[in-house]
Structure 1
């Protein structure tokens, strides 16, 4: 299936490390992932991720780096 003919609906999902991905709507989410609240086409969901995921480092790494910097 090419990207141009993908008519599925997707969800933006988030894990405990605050990392984002997309997941096909209607499928059970994998363990450790929760729906972020955005639903739409693949392109819409990827655009949302681009908008909100500005720091690609896992949360635990960001917290460790902040603790050692302070």
Structure 2
């Protein structure tokens, strides 16, 4: 894969992020987040938006435990 290949930022139901080649069908359980571009641009975007690495289900359980 060349560095010029286009990627999409994808997210799953646990709000975990990854990148996926733009010309391939998305894997089951993942949706396009709305950002696409060169690999490094996508990785930089993920670094900005994915600030809490805990899965969404864990964050919900922890919030419920504090209530």
TM class by smaller structure: over 0.9
Please list every run of 5 or more consecutive structure 2 residues that lacks an aligned counterpart in the other structure: none
Secondary structure class of the residue paired with 1:12: strand
Q: Give 1:40-55 correspondences, 5 Å limit.
A: 40-55=37-52
- For these two proteins, the number of residue pairs brought into alignment is 67
Q: Structure 1-normalised TM-score?
A: 0.91
Matched, 1:58 2:16: no
Please list every run of 5 or more consecutive structure 1 residues that lacks an aligned counterpart in the other structure: none
- Residue by residue, what CA displacement relative to the aligned partner does 1:20-58 show, whole Å, maximum 9, x if unpaired? 000000100000000000010000000100000000000
Question: Which stretches of structure 1, 4 residues or more, deviate above 6 A after TM superposition?
Answer: none
Q: Structure 2-normalised TM-score?
A: 0.95
More strand by proportion, 1 or 2?
2
CA RMSD, aligned part only? Answer: 1.0
